[in-house]
Chain A
Amino acid sequence: MGSITRIQGRALPLRGDDIDTDRIMPARFLVGVSFEGLEKHVFEDDRKAAVRPHNRHPFDVGHYQGATVLIVNSNFGCGSSREHAPQGLHRWGIEAVIGESFAEIFFGNAVMIGMPCVTAAPADVRTLMDLVEKNPKAEVAIDIAAGTCVAPDFRCTVSLPPNVRDAFTSGAWDTTAMLLDHYEQVDSTAAKLPYVAGF
C-alpha cells in the first residue's frame, strides 16, 4: 500500500448535517457479493428526489463531475456500518472528504480503503463550500502531513488523529499485514483470557 500525503482536485460541496449511510448507499444496493458498480448508486434516492432544475443534487451537477474532494458538514456517515457507502464514494472518484465531523464507523471504514476524512472548523467548511459553489473549477489541495487545505484565496487547518495521519503518510493504513505480524503475541494474549482458556 502506498502512502497518501496529498489530495488535489476539484471539489463537490454537499450541504447537510447527519447524512447517514442509508442515504449514501441505500440498502437495496448491498444485495450482491462485490463492491463493483456501487459508484452508480451513490445517493441514488436523494438524487431522484431532487428533480427540479434549480434543486439538482450536487452529485448530478455537471460542474462537479470529476471532483476528487467531497466537502460535508457534521456527523457525515452516521448510522449503518456498511462499507458500501465509502466504497461507493471512492469508486465514484472521491479521494478525500473534508468536513466538520464524521461518524466513527464511517471514518474507520474510509481509513481502511485509503480515503482520508479530515476535519476543519465549521466556519472554514462553510467558507470552502461557498467558494466552490461560486467557482466549481477551483482546485482544492489537502496536505495530510502539513494539515492544511488550500484553495484560491483560501487556506485552513485540517486535522486527523495523529495515528491515522501517520498511517496515511507512512503507507501503513492497510492494517491486516500489521495485525498478522508478531502473531505469537496474539496467541499469548488470547491464551491468558479465561473464556478462551475455558475457565
Chain B
Amino acid sequence: MGKTLLKKVWDLHTVRQLPTGQTQLFIGLHLVHEVTSPQAFDALRQRGWKVARPDRTFATVDHIIPTVERKRPFLDVIAEDMIASLERNCRDFGVRLAGLDDDRQGIVHVIGPELGLTQPGMTIACGDSHTSTHGAFGSVAFGIGTSQVRDVLASQCLALEPLKVRRIRVTGTLPRGVYAKDVILEIIQRLGVRGGTGYAYEYAGDTVERMTMDERMTMCNMSIEGGARVGYVNPDETTFEYLKGRPFAPPGDAFERATEWWRSIASDADAVYDDEVEIRASELKPVVTWGVNPGQSIAIDERVPAPDEVDEPQAVSDALDYMGLEPGRPIAGMKVDVAFIGSCTNARLSDLREAARIVKGKHVAPHVKALVVPGSVGVSQAAEREGLDAVFRAAGFEWRGAGCSMCLGMNPDKLQGNQVCAASSNRNFKGRQGSPTGRTLLMSPAMVAAAAVAGKVVDVREFVN
C-alpha cells in the first residue's frame, strides 16, 4: 500500500513519540515575523535558552510595516518598538533577517518561496495561519501560535497530533476569467469552513497539475480558511523549474540530487486517502464572498441567500445585516468603496500582471480608493521592470511598498467606517480590514481590478473575452 506525501514527510521528520503520545516533529524551516515572535524570544531569554538551529530560521518584517513611507523611526511608536525588537532579537540570537532595507523583504509566505527557502519534503512552521501556502511546493507547513514559536526556536521541533489526508481532485479546464482563487473559494464553500479540521488537504488532478506555482500557492494559502491547517500539492517539474537558480535552492549538481529526492516524497499512485473529493473546473465561475467568513460565497451571477431558505438562518441573517445586504439580491452591482490587490494569497507577479491586463487603458471609478500592495520587494521590482506600476498608476491605483497591509489593517492601511472593500486577500471576517464595521468581499485579483474600474462588483469574464 502506497503512502501519501504527508505520511512520508511526517515519518522522515519524526524524532520520537513523546510521553504524552504526541509526535515530536523536526521542523526543517522556521519563518519568523515581528508580530508573533517577541514573546517567544523573551521566553528564551528568561530560561537562558538559545535558538537551536539559527541555520534553519529566517525572519522578515511584514505585518505592521507602513506601505507609503518606510523611513525609520515609524510614526507609530509601538510599531517602531516591534520592528526594533525583532532586529534586536535576530541580532542577539543569530537569526537571519530580511529587514526593511533588504531587497529580500516581503510577506513571509511570498519571500520563502521566492528565495528558494521553501522546498519540497520540508516541514515548515511559522507563527501565522497562512503558512499552509508553502505546501504548494510539496512541503508540510503549519501555522502555529507564539508558544509553539518558542518551542521551535528553542528545540526546532513541535509536539503534534497526526493529520488525516483528504485528496481534492480538480479536473478539466478552467474557463477564461476563472482563477485559482475561485477554485479554492469554491472548495471552501462546498466543504465548509470547518470541513478541513483534522485534515491536510492534498490538491491534485490535472487542473492543479497544470497550475503555475503562484496558482498553487493561492490554493494552499487558503486551506486554513476551510479549517485545514495544512494544504499541499505534490512536487513535479513545475516545482523544480520554479526553484532552479533561486538564492537558497541547492546549487549545481546538488540540484539534480535534490530533484531525485523531491520526486520520491510525492504521494504514491496507490496511496490511500481518508477522504476524496472531486471538483470539475469547467463548471466553475468567478466567486465572490457575501458574508463574514470565507465559506459564505456565491458565483458572480448568483443572488445572496435569504435567511428563510437556509439551514443556518441566524448566521446568514447576522452576516447579511453586517454586510448591509438585502436578502436575495444579486451580488453583481454591489457598490465598492475600496479595491485592495495584495496579501499572501494574491500579490505575486502573475496576480499583478492579470490585474494590470484588466485595468490597462481604463480608470478606477471616481468614488473608489484603489491600491496595489506587492507581496515582496522582489515582486515589486519585477513588476516595475515590466512597467506594471505605471499601468496601475495611470489607471488611478496607488502603488505601495511590500507588506501585509490592508489584509488585516495592522499598519495605517485600514478601511474607514463601513466601507465596502473588494479584496484579493483571504479573510472577510468582521472588522478584519481594520475598521470594526468595515466590509470585505473576497475575490480574485482580476475581479478586484474589474470592480475598481466599474466601482461595483462585476463579472470579470466581460473584461477578459
Contact = CB atoms under 8 A, between A and B. Distances in A.
Interface of A: 16-18, 20, 22-23, 26-28, 30-35, 45-46, 48-49, 74-75, 78-84, 86, 101, 103-105, 108-109, 112-113, 161-164, 166-167, 170, 172, 175-176, 178-180, 182-183, 185-186, 189-190, 192-196, 198-199
Majority-rule SS of A interface residues: helix
A26 B257 contact: no
A172 B24 CA distance: 14
A104 B229 contact: yes
Contact of B293 (A18, A108, A161, A180): A18
A18 B194 contact: yes
B13 interface: yes
A27 B36 contact: no
Interface string B29-43: 000000110110010
Q: Which residue among A79, A104, A163 has the maximum number of chain B CB atoms within 10 Å of its CB?
A: A104
A101 B197 contact: yes
A18 B430 contact: no
Interface string B2-43: 000000000011111011111010101000000110110010
Contacts of A198: 250, 254
Contact of B20 (A45, A112, A172): A172
Considering the complex of A and B, which 4 residue pairs feature the smallest CB-CB distances, nearest first? A83-B145, A109-B145, A112-B147, A163-B21
A150 B270 CA distance: 48
Interface stretch (B76-84, B206-214, B348-356, B451-459): B76-84
Contacts of B39: 33-35, 83
A22 B49 CA distance: 32
B159 A81 contact: no
B194 A190 contact: no
A182 B19 CA distance: 12
Given A81-B145, A103-B197, A199 B261 contact: yes
B250 A108 contact: no
A186 B28 CA distance: 11
A65 to B, nearest CB: 23
A30 B257 contact: no
B119 interface: yes
Contacts of A81: 36, 127-129, 143-145
A176 B151 CA distance: 5
Contact of B38 (A16, A34, A179, A194): A34
A22 B427 contact: yes
A58 to B, nearest CB: 15
A147 to B, nearest CB: 16
29 contacts: A22-B429, A31-B64, A31-B76, A31-B82, A46-B430, A78-B193, A79-B225, A81-B127, A83-B36, A83-B146, A84-B146, A103-B194, A108-B145, A109-B148, A163-B161, A166-B21, A167-B20, A170-B20, A172-B20, A175-B22, A175-B159, A179-B154, A186-B15, A186-B26, A189-B26, A190-B53, A195-B119, A198-B254, A199-B261
Nearest to A114: B147
Contacts of A79: 129, 224-225, 427, 429
Nearest to A109: B145
